[in-house]
């Protein structure tokens, strides 16, 4: 019944949409919190720089939100267009968090509209600040609910399948699956981390481009600090994810770690190149017994190997590279964050050097690449399943012959939207630097006096 | 009332909400672009943008809400509508993406850019046309169940006069609703020049609207007699709707009570939309799918209804707040305090 090219192009199109969407979605989840913190500090310290920082981030945020909203809408509907059989089953079991997500999204949209259009309308800045709380709650809540759906796909439960018939559906149980806590936690903190490092990268870039204004210094310091906190949180939750995988999805862990034979005291493999035919690994860094330790806090615990699983139920082995990349960037960002903060406190010259700022600038895009790598790892890592142990990807896709054409159209669309948003954002900030905006505000104030 | 009917009623109300706010939004984009291309921008753009800016994202959510809701309450629709709608659905999505993002690009990035505004306006009228295809295929006769599941017969669809009547109806209704709403909004802002121009647009689009409605009734009678007859059983709703339409035209003509005119427009579409919807009962897609054989399991239905009630408790005050701050706020409508970020 399945149509092979339709399955292939459905996967491709879904990958295009998600890969593009998560850039904007990650910003969408992280930025409201960052605006909130900047504005809060501004009110507390009575420092106009932080208020302006919040305002400028909010202005850029409108553009990213627009692209995030439309691609999110596209993805929501594409699920039914491309994976009708999956959505029929999912509708019966996992519709609840999907439904809740739309409420969170609604809530966020309303308050974001109000927030953006009421600057200077309230006498008291704190009142305006209050509007940000529902925005931040709404954006994080929608991430939580949609990640619950994804967690369900990885560790489905809350229903019984008897002879192809669904029975005993328990919507709440389907939301609270074993992979849910680690997934939700990981998605949230990485979104906060990524946006913090992105904003830090922008500040560092402005300083490199010659702006001496103290505004950028304050911004850099604030976001490096936040980035470090969330990077450490990410690492901790990432460790929990490893333990989850060992217990519930061992084939994903084994593929990500190139762990073929089940044994006790398994080694951790960092980097390396695999010859898939001979299963020989070259150029790796091998840390003895570390995999067992990471998977279960015991150096001699048994870790299941890939050879114990049927060949047609294991994910592709290239996910190891994705895993390495994601973890390396995470570790790198913790090191950079620590070096920066220690440098500030101990007056190291490093902090003022140009090359260190360039590293911070590179950190922005790198963390986004790590988010992409992490999602590819998570998604490709459960191949060939769309609903692990219940439904294969090939059984879920549409059988329509036109998916290839649609994939091409959407690819073009995403390129246009990507370029468009970058051009508009650049123009917005280039034509209106901080120095000028501050000056204008001061002129206005003196006019009023 | 059983829970299936409750479910479909809730969704139908939300779809109606989307049709109203979406029409205002799509039409506003169209008039904005038309204004820019014909150099009437000075008159139209400020009033339109002032309304649109804080609410454009909210409009979009109505749509998301509907399609997530229908999968939740009626999961089989994913197969029966999702599979045949791949191409029209994807086109709608591409148009929505262009529209949503280019609105933001234009309003916050480069104001008054002709290309952006045209894209935005054109996509706005194409979306209702593309969306209305869903209503046509739900009438039956265009979708057959093949080996790989439901399939759409494009040739039959695009050669059917019913399809084109529905397309004309959706476009003219959208522009009529939008023009009437903006007339009221311009009047509120004391912008008489914009008001008179928008009023003209409302009259203009009322004509194809009437023609399309008659066309659809004629087509439906032969295409799906069951649906037609059931609608005729509710003739009083249709008559009420027509009377309200006449009332709207009268009020606009005599420059009186624009607020009441808006109420009448909403009422007019509400009655017609519900007569159409109730007549469609019990089919979601004639004759393959009814609301009973596609309904979700009992526990999910209850969970969704509970969530829905709780969600509304959160949503209604928030919606009221945004209306009070922007749409019903005279100072804002007049542009007295422009406090955009």
Question: pLDDT truncated to tens, each residue of chain A (449 aa)?
Answer: 457 888 899 999 999 999 999 999 999 999 999 999 999 999 999 888 998 899 899 989 988 988 999 999 999 999 989 998 888 888 888 889 998 998 898 888 889 888 888 887 777 888 889 999 999 999 999 999 999 999 999 888 888 888 777 888 888 988 999 999 999 999 999 999 999 999 999 999 998 987 778 889 899 999 999 999 999 999 999 888 888 888 888 888 888 888 888 888 778 888 888 877 777 888 888 887 777 777 787 888 888 888 888 888 888 889 999 999 999 999 999 999 999 999 988 888 888 888 899 999 999 999 999 999 999 999 998 888 888 778 888 888 887 788 889 999 999 999 999 998 998 888 888 877 787 888 887 777 666 55
Residues A230 and A290 in one domain: yes
Task: Say how many C-beta atoms besides its own lie within 10 A of residue B306's C-beta.
Answer: 12
Between CA A266 and CA A258 the distance in angstroms is 11
Q: Identify the sign of the CA torsion A58, A59, A60, A65.
A: positive
DSSP, residue by residue, B89-124 = HHHHHHHHHHHHHHHHIIIIISTT-HHHHHHHHHHH
For residue A397, give how far its alpha carbon lies from the nearest alpha carbon of chain B (Å).
Answer: 9
Nearest 5°: the CA angle A8, A14, A18 is: 150
The reply to whether residue A80 touches residue B81, judged by beta carbons under 8 angstroms, is yes
Instruction: Please indicate, yes or no, if residue B341 is contained in any of the structural domains.
Output: no
Size of chain A in residues: 449
| Pair A325, A367: CB distance under 8 Å | no
Task: Say how many C-beta atoms besides its own lie within 10 A of residue B97's C-beta.
Answer: 23
Instruction: Please indicate, yes or no, if residue B236 is contained in any of the structural domains.
Output: yes
Range 337-376 of A in CB contact (< 8 A) with B: none
What whole-number percentage of chain B has pLDDT above 90? 9
The reply to whether residue B297 touches residue A166, judged by beta carbons under 8 angstroms, is yes
- On whether any CB of chain A is under 8 Å from the CB of B116, the answer is no
For residue A15 the two structure tokens come to 């990958």
Q: Could you give the number of structural domains in chain B?
A: 1
Backbone angles phi and psi of A124, in degrees to 5 = -95, 120
Q: Which residue of A has its CA nearest to B337?
A: A121
DSSP, residue by residue, A302-368 = EE--GGGS-GGGS--TTHHHHHHHHHHHHHHHHHHHHHHHHHHHHT-GGGG-HHHHHHHHHHHHHHH
The reply to whether residue A117 touches residue B326, judged by beta carbons under 8 angstroms, is yes
Residue B317 pLDDT > 90 = no
Between CA A176 and CA A158 the distance in angstroms is 9
Instruction: Please indicate, yes or no, if residue A186 is contained in any of the structural domains.
Output: no
* Element at B34 (helix H, strand E): helix B3-37
Instruction: Please indicate, yes or no, if residue A187 is contained in any of the structural domains.
Output: no
Residues A135 and A101 in one domain: yes
Number of Cα atoms under 13 Å in the Cβ half of residue B339: 17
B144-192 pLDDT, tens digit per residue, is 787 777 888 888 888 888 889 889 999 999 999 999 998 888 888 888 8
Residues A70 and A139 in one domain: yes
Which chain B residues have a beta carbon less than 8 Å from that of A421?
101, 105
Domain span at B136:
3-333
Helix (H, G, I), strand (E, B), or coil: what is residue B284?
A: strand
Residues A207 and A139 in one domain: no
Residue ending a domain, among A351, A381, A411, is A381
The reply to whether residue A117 touches residue B108, judged by beta carbons under 8 angstroms, is no
The reply to whether residue A406 touches residue B87, judged by beta carbons under 8 angstroms, is yes
Residues A197 and A345 in one domain: yes
Q: Identify the sign of the CA torsion B47, B51, B53, B57.
A: negative
B24-41 pLDDT, tens digit per residue, is 888 888 888 888 888 777
Residues A50 and A117 in one domain: yes
Instruction: Please indicate, yes or no, if residue B39 is contained in any of the structural domains.
Output: yes
Number of Cα atoms under 13 Å in the Cβ half of residue A98: 32
Instruction: Please indicate, yes or no, if residue B83 is contained in any of the structural domains.
Output: yes
Q: Could you give the number of structural domains in chain A?
A: 2
- On whether any CB of chain A is under 8 Å from the CB of B144, the answer is no
Instruction: Please indicate, yes or no, if residue B340 is contained in any of the structural domains.
Output: no
* Predicted local distance difference test score (pLDDT) of residue B112: 58
Predicted-assembly ipTM surpassing the 0.90 threshold: no
Instruction: Please indicate, yes or no, if residue B339 is contained in any of the structural domains.
Output: no
Residue with the two structure tokens 């979104």: A191
Which chain B residues have a beta carbon less than 8 Å from that of A409?
90, 94
Residue ending a domain, among A360, A381, A402, is A381
Residues A268 and A374 in one domain: yes
| Pair A12, A407: CB distance under 8 Å | yes
Range 235-274 of A in CB contact (< 8 A) with B: none
A113-153 pLDDT, tens digit per residue, is 888 888 877 778 888 899 999 999 999 999 999 999 999 99
A309-367 pLDDT, tens digit per residue, is 888 888 888 999 999 999 999 999 999 999 999 998 888 888 888 889 999 999 999 99
Domain span at A82:
1-179+390-449
Residues A46 and A74 in one domain: yes
Residues A308 and A264 in one domain: yes
SS percent in chain B: helix, strand, coil, step 5 = 80, 5, 15
Residue ending a domain, among A362, A381, A400, is A381
The reply to whether residue A169 touches residue B299, judged by beta carbons under 8 angstroms, is yes
Residues A439 and A377 in one domain: no
Instruction: Please indicate, yes or no, if residue B100 is contained in any of the structural domains.
Output: yes
Residues A440 and A377 in one domain: no
Residues A347 and A233 in one domain: yes
The reply to whether residue A66 touches residue B105, judged by beta carbons under 8 angstroms, is yes
Instruction: Please indicate, yes or no, if residue A215 is contained in any of the structural domains.
Output: yes
């Amino acid at each position: 019944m399945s149509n092979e090219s339709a399955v292939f192009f459905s996967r491709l199109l879904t990958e295009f949409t998600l890969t593009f969407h998560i850039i904007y979605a990650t910003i969408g989840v992280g930025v409201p919190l960052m605006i909130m913190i900047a504005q809060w500090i501004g009110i507390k310290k009575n420092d106009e720089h932080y208020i302006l920082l919040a305002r400028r981030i909010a202005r850029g945020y409108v553009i990213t939100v627009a692209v995030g909203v439309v691609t999110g809408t596209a993805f929501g509907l594409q699920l039914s267009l491309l994976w009708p059989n999956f959505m029929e089953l999912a509708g019966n079991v996992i519709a609840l968090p999907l439904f809740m997500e739309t409420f969170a999204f609604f809530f966020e949209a309303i308050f974001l509209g109000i927030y953006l259009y009421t600057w200077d309308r309230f006498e008291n800045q704190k009142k305006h600040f209050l509007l940000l709380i529902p925005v931040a709650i709404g954006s994080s809540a929608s991430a939580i609910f949609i990640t619950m759906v994804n967690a369900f796909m990885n560790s489905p439960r809350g229903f019984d399948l008897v002879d192809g018939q669904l029975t005993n559906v328990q919507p709440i149980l389907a939301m609270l699956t074993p992979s849910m806590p680690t997934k939700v936690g990981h998605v949230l903190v990485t979104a906060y981390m990524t946006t913090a490092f992105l904003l830090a990268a922008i500040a560092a870039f402005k300083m490199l481009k010659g702006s001496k204004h103290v505004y950028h210094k304050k911004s850099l310091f604030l976001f490096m600090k936040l980035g470090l906190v969330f990077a450490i949180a990410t690492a901790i939750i990432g460790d929990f994810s490893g333990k989850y995988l060992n217990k519930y999805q061992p084939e994903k862990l084994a593929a990500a770690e190139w762990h073929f034979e089940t044994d006790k005291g398994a080694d951790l493999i960092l980097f390396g190149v695999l010859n898939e035919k001979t299963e020989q690994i070259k150029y790796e860094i091998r840390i003895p017994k570390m995999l067992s330790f990471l998977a279960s806090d015991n150096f001699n615990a048994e870790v299941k190997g890939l050879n114990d699983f049927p060949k047609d139920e294991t994910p592709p082995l290239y996910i190891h590279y994705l895993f390495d990349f994601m973890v390396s960037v995470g570790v790198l960002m913790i090191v950079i964050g620590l070096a920066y903060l220690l440098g500030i406190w101990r007056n190291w010259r490093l902090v003022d050097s140009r090359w260190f700022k360039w590293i911070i600038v590179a950190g922005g895009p790198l963390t986004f690449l790590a988010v992409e790598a992490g999602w590819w790892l998570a998604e490709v890592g459960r191949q060939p399943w769309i609903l692990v142990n219940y439904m294969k990807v090939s059984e879920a896709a549409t059988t329509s012959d036109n998916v290839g054409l649609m994939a091409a159209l959407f690819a073009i669309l995403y390129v246009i939207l990507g370029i468009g948003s970058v051009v508009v954002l650049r123009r917005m900030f280039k034509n209106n630097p901080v120095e000028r905006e501050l000056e204008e505000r001061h002129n206005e104030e003196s006019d009023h006096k | 009332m059983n829970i299936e009917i409750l479910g479909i009623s809730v969704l139908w109300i939300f779809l109606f909400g989307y049709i109203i706010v979406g029409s205002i939004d799509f039409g506003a984009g169209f008039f904005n672009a038309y204004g820019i291309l014909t150099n009437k921008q000075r008159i139209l753009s400020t009033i339109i943008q002032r309304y649109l800016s804080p609410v454009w994202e909210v409009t979009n959510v109505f749509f998301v809400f509907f399609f997530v809701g229908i999968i939740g309450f009626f999961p089989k629709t994913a197969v029966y509508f999702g599979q045949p709608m791949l191409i029209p659905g994807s086109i709608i999505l591409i148009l929505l993406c262009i529209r949503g993002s280019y609105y933001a690009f234009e309003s916050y990035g480069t104001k008054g850019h002709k290309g952006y505004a045209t894209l935005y306006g054109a996509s706005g009228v194409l979306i209702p046309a593309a969306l209305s295809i869903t209503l046509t295929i739900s009438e039956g006769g265009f979708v057959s169940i093949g080996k790989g599941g439901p399939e759409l017969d494009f040739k039959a669809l695009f050669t059917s006069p019913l399809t084109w009547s529905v397309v004309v109806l959706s476009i003219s209704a959208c522009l009529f609703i939008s023009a009437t709403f903006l007339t009221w909004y311009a009047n509120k802002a004391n912008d008489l020049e914009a008001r008179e121009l928008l009023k003209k647009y409302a009259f203009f689009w009322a004509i194809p609207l009437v023609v399309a409605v008659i066309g659809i009734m004629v087509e439906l009678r032969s295409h799906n007699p069951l649906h037609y007859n059931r609608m005729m059983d509710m003739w009083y709703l249709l008559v009420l709707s027509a009377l309200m339409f006449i009332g709207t035209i009268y009020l606009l003509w005599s420059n009186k009570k624009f607020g009441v005119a808006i109420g009448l427009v909403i009422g007019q579409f509400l009655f017609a939309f519900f007569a159409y919807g109730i007549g469609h009962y019990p089919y979601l897609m004639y004759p393959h799918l009814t609301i009973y054989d596609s309904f979700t399991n009992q526990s999910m239905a209850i969970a969704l209804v509970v969530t829905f009630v709780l969600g509304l408790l959160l949503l209604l005050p928030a919606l009221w707040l945004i209306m009070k701050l922007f749409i019903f706020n005279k100072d804002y409508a007049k542009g007295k305090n422009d406090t955009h970020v």
